[in-house]
Structure 1
Amino acid sequence: MKARGMDLWQAWNLAEASTSVLSSPGFHSLILQLATPHHHKLPYSTTSPFLRVSIKMSRSAREISSPAEWSTVVEGTKVCVVLFYSPSNAASLEAIHILEHHSQGLEGRGTVLELAKVNVDEVKAIKSAYSITKLPTTMLFRNGKEVDKVSGDNIPRLTQLIEKVKQAVDSETTKKASGSANSWKGAALPRGYVDITDQVELNRSELLNFDTETGGVRALLSSEKPSALSGGKATAKDWVESDTDDQLLLFMPFQSMLKLHTLQITSLPPTDDDDDEAPMRPKTIKLFVNKSHNLGFDEAEDLQATQDIELSESDWNKEGTASIPLRYVRFQNIDSLVLFVVNGDGDSEKVRIDRLRLIGESGSARDMGKLEKVGDLPGE
């Protein structure tokens, strides 16, 4: 890069450099101001003593500035690489450059992979907790647990570690995407998010007031196409109907901490049935998060919901599916979901749900004895 015949690095050698770093969630901006000594005559004319260069990068490594943020990032991410550094340490600055370089292109990874850094001069509590004595030090965490460590000025080892982690996560993500592509979808997924319905712990889930002659929780969360869409009159009862009235109460604990973005509900009641008792679609729904067990119906009626949902006829697509966007900030790091169908959209005493899909991001596993393999990572 040259400035009217003068190489930028030549200008740098003549100048005193001051840097300021501006960060925001979407980009990292670096502004270099080169102040030239007055006794040097620059080989181009300028009205300002400053040569200004702006560099914008799409993403930067996340700066962890407190123990609380450490818990959120490291424990809420499947795979996390953390660099401990000091601005006064030359080797640290080189390591930061490597980390920032590999942070590019990580948009959309969410809670799958995070590259982060900790200034040990500012956050001494974390430095002490992990006995950091050499700088820079890089640590690799899987589901909040340390599995590898690179201490001291070992840039080749650091580079190798980060590249191996990225390749392993990419491979696992590709496998999951391939498997997800083969499952039935009642509606398109929001961009940047995936189907995380498989994170529900089926053995601990509970569904109240459902007709036992129809399906249960496994039918609701099945990845198969509903039999009602197979053509003709459905015979396999792979759906759920309420029993004594039009209410259902479903408790779903998760295998990992989730960030829930969208709820997709498929309801396919018969359209050619004149029976007044034919089931109907749900209309009013209440959602509750982070409950250790299911609620009672009276409790669910009275308790303030994390989100209240009111569905109308226009919300259902041709596949009988309603995509419900959630207030994302309220559904961060949740370990369970209670879905309460308050009533249906008609006068029947039965409500019907064929499929339920959870869309979002999954994070660290809650049960360390049932870790999901991320890939060929150190420590596995």
Structure 2
Amino acid sequence: MQGADINGLEAKIQKHYVASLYESGEDYGHGMLDLNTFIQKNQCECLNESNVHLMVNALSSSGGNLVSNCDEQLIISITFNQLVKISAINTIDFDMAKSQVSVQDLILGQKEIVSESPIPLHFVKFQNVQNMQLFVKDNHSGDETTIIDHLAFIGSPIATTKMDDFQWVAGKKGESH
């Protein structure tokens, strides 16, 4: 594009940037969206998940669910592919989860479970997140198994460069830096 057509340039940027970056579709306002496309699924794990109903099922809205295996508790570790300022990433086990203080506790009633509305978090406490640990202590029904149909993280990505997007390009013989 040539010239000083600022509106035309802005329209081209929006067309290509939005179409490629925000594929999840639903807009939650204020630039917030479902961050599913930013989850690095091969780096995620779930402790006490069923061998058949895995966590990756709950990360997709296309069907399937996550089911706990031997009791109602689950530890879900989600890793995002965006580069952020973070000093450490650690995983926890069930004993650590019970004894540590969480950033935020959520007690979900029947209204929140049935509703498809996002459950708000203390927004200022979840800035610059690359890894999220969720501990499901018990479930609403009191059953031995916990079932999660869909788990979505609503937010906005921090505009950073993803090094995974770069490819190594070999130079010609004799070229060096």
TM-score normalised by length of structure 1 = 0.38
Alpha-carbon distance in 2 for matches of 1:251, 1:165: 40
2:75 to 238, 249, 273: 249
The answer to whether the aligner puts 1:333 opposite 2:128 as a matched pair is yes
Question: Which has the higher Rg, Structure 1 or Structure 2?
Answer: 1
The answer to whether the aligner puts 1:196 opposite 2:35 as a matched pair is yes
2:104 matched residue in structure 1: 307
* Cα offset, 1:239, TM superposition: 0.9
8 Å CA contact retained: 1:251, 1:293: no
| Equivalence map 1:282-361=2 (5 Å) | 292-317=89-114, 321=116, 323-361=118-156
2:59 to 206, 221, 231: 221
Alpha-carbon distance in 1 for matches of 2:68, 2:41: 19
Instruction: Note closer, same or farther for the CA distance 1:210–1:164 as it changes in structure 2 (3 Å cut).
Output: same
Q: Deviations 1:268-323 (Å, cap 9, x if unpaired)?
A: xxxxxxxxxxxxxxxxxxxxx98623211111111111111001112233xx6352
Structure 1's consecutive aligned runs of 4 or more residues displaced over 6 angstroms after TM superposition are: 161-165
8 Å CA contact retained: 1:206, 1:250: yes
Q: How high is the sequence identity, in percent, across the aligned residues?
A: 23
* Cα offset, 1:169, TM superposition: 3.6
Instruction: Note closer, same or farther for the CA distance 1:176–1:366 as it changes in structure 2 (3 Å cut).
Output: closer
2:48 matched residue in structure 1: 209
CA RMSD of superposed structures (Å): 3.1
More strand by share: 1
* Counterpart secondary structure, 2:52: coil
Q: Deviations 1:234-292 (Å, cap 9, x if unpaired)?
A: xxxx211111111011111111157xxxxxxxxxxxxxxxxxxxxxxxxxxxxxx9862
1:171 to 15, 39, 51: 15
Unaligned stretches of 5+ residues in structure 2: 167-177
Q: Deviations 1:170-197 (Å, cap 9, x if unpaired)?
A: 123441588433xxx7xxx532211111
Greater RCO, CA 8 A, separation 6+: 2
Instruction: Note closer, same or farther for the CA distance 1:165–1:338 as it changes in structure 2 (3 Å cut).
Output: farther
Instruction: Note closer, same or farther for the CA distance 1:314–1:241 as it changes in structure 2 (3 Å cut).
Output: same
* Cα offset, 1:163, TM superposition: 6.7
Alpha-carbon distance in 2 for matches of 1:254, 1:213: 24
* Cα offset, 1:355, TM superposition: 1.0
Alpha-carbon distance in 2 for matches of 1:242, 1:347: 13
Unaligned stretches of 5+ residues in structure 1: 1-156, 227-237, 259-288, 372-380
Tell me the matched-pair count.
163
TM-score normalised by length of structure 2 = 0.77
Query: In structure 1, what residue type is equivalent to 2:55?
Result: V
| Equivalence map 1:81-230=2 (5 Å) | 166-176=10-20, 179-181=23-25, 190-192=28-30, 193-214=32-53, 216-224=54-62, 226=63
Instruction: Note closer, same or farther for the CA distance 1:327–1:350 as it changes in structure 2 (3 Å cut).
Output: same
Alpha-carbon distance in 1 for matches of 2:81, 2:160: 6
Alpha-carbon distance in 2 for matches of 1:178, 1:249: 28
Alpha-carbon distance in 1 for matches of 2:121, 2:87: 15
